[in-house]
């Protein structure tokens, strides 16, 4: 009877189903049918928590489409660390459009709350993210041992020679 609760419940069900069992736990036909609705909710729902939940659900079970790509590109290019994390997670699964995605990921390396998500996603791009090497080297040489390890791991996939310059990741 409460449309807000219904939307929230349906979106969280899709997210949790995909998160717990992977995208294959939601049949392809259902994923194809819900993707436009999730896109609509991610862009237009009046409640920010439902918009964010819809983005999370798109990341887990949404099909790859130009609209989803645009939503996730907007997320990764956002100043909001939560949105960046969702966008980065989606692009880790769907490393497309390196020319558009890698620059905001490089910018995300500046922010302590997003640098690990961005480094992990840059790794998924491999050599296509070659222009992130200098910034990843800076993170790898930084004081945050966890972020440093992730930056080195990303460098190993992007430019193994650059990864050797900073050594092995700290334990």
pLDDT of residue 23: 65
Question: Rounded to two decimals, what is the model's pTM?
Answer: 0.85
Contacts of 9 (CB under 8 A, 6+ apart): none
- How crowded is the C-beta side of 79, counted as CA atoms within 13 Å? 0
Indicate if the pLDDT at residue 94 is higher than 70: yes
In this predicted model, what pLDDT tens digit does every residue of 110-148 receive, in sequence order?
999 999 999 999 999 999 999 999 999 999 999 999 999
Q: H helices within the chain, ranges in order?
A: 3-21, 28-44, 48-61, 66-76, 81-93, 98-108, 115-125, 133-140, 145-158, 160-166
In this predicted model, what pLDDT tens digit does every residue of 35-74 receive, in sequence order?
999 999 999 999 999 999 999 999 888 888 999 999 999 9
For residues 8-13, average pLDDT: 79
Indicate if the pLDDT at residue 18 is higher than 90: no
- Name which residue leads in pLDDT, 52 or 4: 52
């Amino acid at each position: 009877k409460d449309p807000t609760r219904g939307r929230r419940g349906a979106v969280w069900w899709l997210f949790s189903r995909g998160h717990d069992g992977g995208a294959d736990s939601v049949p392809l036909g259902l994923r194809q049918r819900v993707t436009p609705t999730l896109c609509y909710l991610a862009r237009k729902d009046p409640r920010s928590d439902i918009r964010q939940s819809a983005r999370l659900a798109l990341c887990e079970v949404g099909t790859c489409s130009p609209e989803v790509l645009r939503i996730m590109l907007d997320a990764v290019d956002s100043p909001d660390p939560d949105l960046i994390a969702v966008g980065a997670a989606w692009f880790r699964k769907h490393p497309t459009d390196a020319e558009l995605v890698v620059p905001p990921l490089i910018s995300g390396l500046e922010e302590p709350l997003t640098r690990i998500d961005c480094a992990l996603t840059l790794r998924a791009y491999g050599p296509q993210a070659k222009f992130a090497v200098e910034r990843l080297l800076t993170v790898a040489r930084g004081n945050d041992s966890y972020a440093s390890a992730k930056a080195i791991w990303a460098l190993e996939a992007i430019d193994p020679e650059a990864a050797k310059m900073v050594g092995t990741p700290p334990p």
